[in-house]
Amino acid sequence: MTRLSAYLLPTEKEAPADAEAISHKLMVRAGLIRQVGTGMWTFLPAGWRVHRRVEQIIREEMDAIGGLEILMPVLTPAELWKRSGRYAIDELFKLKDRKGADLVLSLTNEETVTFHVASLVRSYRDLPRILYHIQTKERDEARPRAGLLRTREFIMKDSYTFDRDLEGLEAGYEKHARAYDRIFDRCGLEWYSVESDVGAMGGLGAHEYMAPCAAGENDVALAPGYAANVEVASAEAQPVELPPERDAPEEVHTPGLTTVAQVAAAMEASPGALLKAYPVIAEGRGLVVVVVRGDHRVNDVKLANALGTSFRPAREEEFADAVGPAGFIGPVGAQAPVLLDAAVPDDRGGFVCGANKPDAHLRGVQPGRDFQFERADVRTVVAGDTVGGHPIRIEPAIEVGNIFKLGTRYSEPLGATYLDETGQAQLIWMGSYGIGPARIAAAAVEQYADEKGISWPRSLAPFDAELVVLGKPGTDERAAADRLYEELRAAGLDVLYDDRDAGPGEKFADAELLGCPLRLTIGRRMLAGGELEAQVRRGRESRTLPLDGAAAAAVELWRTLP
C-alpha cells in the first residue's frame, strides 16, 4: 500500500539555500534525500526506491554476463592495503580498533577480493571468474559537492574479472563494456563512453561512462565517432598564422613583456605564433622545458603520461640558470631537454619565443633548425580543434561508471596465482569495473528535469504512476479512485496514490516535482462524464481516458513512455 497520506515524502517549496546543482535542489525538494553532514546523505523512502531500481538493473545485467554476487565488508585490515601500496592514499579513511590495530574503510575492494581469490583459485580450471558486489564505499574526499554527485559515503557496484592472461582480460573487459551499454540504456540516460586516463597506478586501458549534464565535473571532448575525457583527448589543432620567416632568429627588445598577450601584441603576431615554455622537474629526469603554442595550455595528465613519470612545475631558482628568467624562457639555446607539443609545426619558421635572458624575445624561430626537441602531444584540446575533419565540442559530464584493465597490479603484491597446464604458477590477470547508482539517479534528474521538477525515466521512477484524487474523503471521486488504485495494482503498476485531503494545486505540484512518468487524475468534473485525465510527465501532455477499462489503458500508455 502506498497511500501518500501514510507515506514519508517531505516535499519543499523552496530548495536548500546553499544548493546549486539541479539534482541537489530537486532531490531534496521532492523528498527523496536529506543531508546528514558534508558528503553524507540519507535516502528517504522514495529516493531509496529509485536507488534500488538502479541496483536491480545493474544486478540483472551483471548476472547476465556470468557475474557472481558476493558481499565484502567495508571494514578491512590495513595490512592488505599496505601490501598493495594503497595505504598511502589520502582519500582512504583509516582508523584503529580498541587494541590499536590499524583498520581501513574500503574505497573499492581490489585488495579484499584479490585476497580471497588468491586462496580460492588454484588452477586454470577455476578461471575465468567475475565477482561483484553492491556495497558502501567510503572516501575522505577533499571536496564533496552538489548533493549526490560527489559524496564521502556512497554505494557502488564494483566487479572484478579474473583471467589467466591478457586475452582473457580483454574478453572480460569487453563483456563488461557491453553490459554497461545495456545498463545505461535501460536507465534511460543520455551517455557515452570515453577513453580515460589509466592514472598514476598504471593499467592497460580504461574507459569512463559519462552522462552529460550541466553539473558535471568532467569535461569531455566530442566529435562524430570520437569521445574522450579532455584529460587525455587528442585532436588536430586549428592552424595558426605565422609572421614572416627569417634566415635566423632575430632578437627583439621586449622590456617587461612577460605574458603571451603582451608579447603577441608587441610583435603584431597572433598568440598561436608564440612558443610558450613551461619548465618542469620530471621525476628522475630533472629539468625539462615543455613548449606549447601560445594559444594552447599544457595538459598535466597528458604531460605526465608523455614523460612516463610524475612531474612538478620547476621553481625559478631551478630553471633560471638553464633557460633564463620567467617570462623570457624559450627553447632556443635552452640548457635543458625540450619537449615540443605536437601541435607546433616544425616545417615553418616565424615563431616567437623567449630569448632566455631578461627583456628579450626571438622572432623568426623554426623548430628543428633553431633548436632540438623531443615530440609529444601534451596540450589540452580546445573546442574547434578537429578529429577526422570534424570540429570537436567540449561539454561537462558526470562520470557514472568506469572500466579498467588492471593487469597484474594487485595479483602480484597479494600473491594471486594459478597453476597452468604444466603446473607452473602464473599471475592472475584482473580488471575492475565500477558503477555508482546514486550518480545515475542524480544524472537522470539533471538530464530530464524541467521547470516543474523531476521527470524520471520510466525504469528509474520511484513509482510507475501517481494517482491523484481531487475531492473530499467520502465523495464519489474517492470511491472511484480507490477502485482504480486497486485495479492499477492488480494490473502490475507500482502506484503512489495521493489520497491526502489537500487542494488540487498542491497535489499537481507535488506530483510533477516527484516526477513519476504518468499521472492519473480523478476529479468530479471528468468523473461525471465517466472519464479521467492521464498526464505524461515528460512533456506534460494530457489526454482523457474512459474510466471503464482505465487500468488497462493506463498500463498500455505507460509501456510507451520513455
Partner RNA sequence: CGGGGAGUGGCGCAGUCUGGUAGCGCACCCGGCUGGGGGCCGGGCGGUCGCAGGUUCAAAUCCUGUCUCCCCGACCA
Note the residues at the interface with RNA (CB under 7 A): 11-21, 24, 35, 37-40, 85-86, 88-91, 108, 141-146, 150, 199-201, 217, 300, 452, 470-472, 501-506, 508-510, 512-513, 521-527, 532-533, 535, 542
Quote the least distance from Cβ 266 to RNA, whole Å. Answer: 29
* The three cell numbers locating residue 80: 592488505
Among candidate residues 52, 45, 39, the one with its CA nearest the CA of residue 153: 39
Nearer to RNA by Cβ, of 37 and 389: the residue is 37
Measured CA to CA, the distance from residue 203 to residue 130 in angstroms comes to 19
* The three cell numbers locating residue 65: 554476463
Nearer to RNA by Cβ, of 90 and 421: the residue is 90
Measured CA to CA, the distance from residue 382 to residue 380 in angstroms comes to 6
Residue 121 CB burial class (10 angstroms; 0-12, 13-18, ≥19): buried
Quote the least distance from Cβ 308 to RNA, whole Å. Answer: 17
Nearer to RNA by Cβ, of 2 and 299: the residue is 299
Per the CB < 8 A criterion, the answer to whether 391 and 382 are in contact is no
Helix, coil or strand: residue 389: coil
Measured CA to CA, the distance from residue 122 to residue 110 in angstroms comes to 18
CA 363 to chain centre: 43
Residue 494 neighbours by CB under 8 Å, 6+ apart: 2, 463, 464, 465
Quote the least distance from Cβ 143 to RNA, whole Å. Answer: 3
Residues forming a β-bridge with 90: none
Quote the least distance from Cβ 146 to RNA, whole Å. Answer: 5
Nearer to RNA by Cβ, of 196 and 254: the residue is 196
**Helix ranges (DSSP H) in 308-436:** 316-323
75: DSSP letter? E
Nearer to RNA by Cβ, of 238 and 408: the residue is 408
Nearer to RNA by Cβ, of 341 and 510: the residue is 510
Nearer to RNA by Cβ, of 344 and 403: the residue is 403
Nearer to RNA by Cβ, of 495 and 522: the residue is 522
392: DSSP letter? P
Angle between helix 437-448 and helix 45-64 axes, rounded to 10 deg: 110
Quote the least distance from Cβ 437 to RNA, whole Å. Answer: 18
Quote the least distance from Cβ 430 to RNA, whole Å. Answer: 12
Quote the least distance from Cβ 323 to RNA, whole Å. Answer: 23
Quote the least distance from Cβ 168 to RNA, whole Å. Answer: 22
Q: Tell me the one-letter amino acid at 267.
A: M
Nearer to RNA by Cβ, of 80 and 344: the residue is 80
Nearer to RNA by Cβ, of 2 and 151: the residue is 151
In the chain, what's the furthest Cα-to-Cα distance? 97
Residues forming a β-bridge with 83: none
* The three cell numbers locating residue 110: 581490489
Nearer to RNA by Cβ, of 269 and 481: the residue is 481
* The three cell numbers locating residue 47: 529516493
Instruction: Identify the H or E element spanning 361.
Output: strand 360-365
Nearer to RNA by Cβ, of 23 and 417: the residue is 23
Residues forming a β-bridge with 429: 163
Residue keyed to cell 567495508? 74
Nearer to RNA by Cβ, of 178 and 524: the residue is 524
Residue 373 neighbours by CB under 8 Å, 6+ apart: 291, 331, 338, 339, 340, 346, 367
Per the CB < 8 A criterion, the answer to whether 516 and 462 are in contact is yes
Quote the least distance from Cβ 162 to RNA, whole Å. Answer: 18
Nearer to RNA by Cβ, of 228 and 532: the residue is 532
Measured CA to CA, the distance from residue 474 to residue 263 in angstroms comes to 81
Helix, coil or strand: residue 129: strand
Residues forming a β-bridge with 33: 43
Per the CB < 8 A criterion, the answer to whether 514 and 484 are in contact is no
The torsion angles phi and psi of 484, rounded to 5 degrees, stand at: -65, -40
Quote the least distance from Cβ 149 to RNA, whole Å. Answer: 9
Quote the least distance from Cβ 452 to RNA, whole Å. Answer: 6
Quote the least distance from Cβ 453 to RNA, whole Å. Answer: 7
Could you count the other beta carbons within 10 Å of the beta carbon of residue 120? 12
Quote the least distance from Cβ 151 to RNA, whole Å. Answer: 9
Among candidate residues 221, 242, 368, the one with its CA nearest the CA of residue 294: 242
Quote the least distance from Cβ 142 to RNA, whole Å. Answer: 3
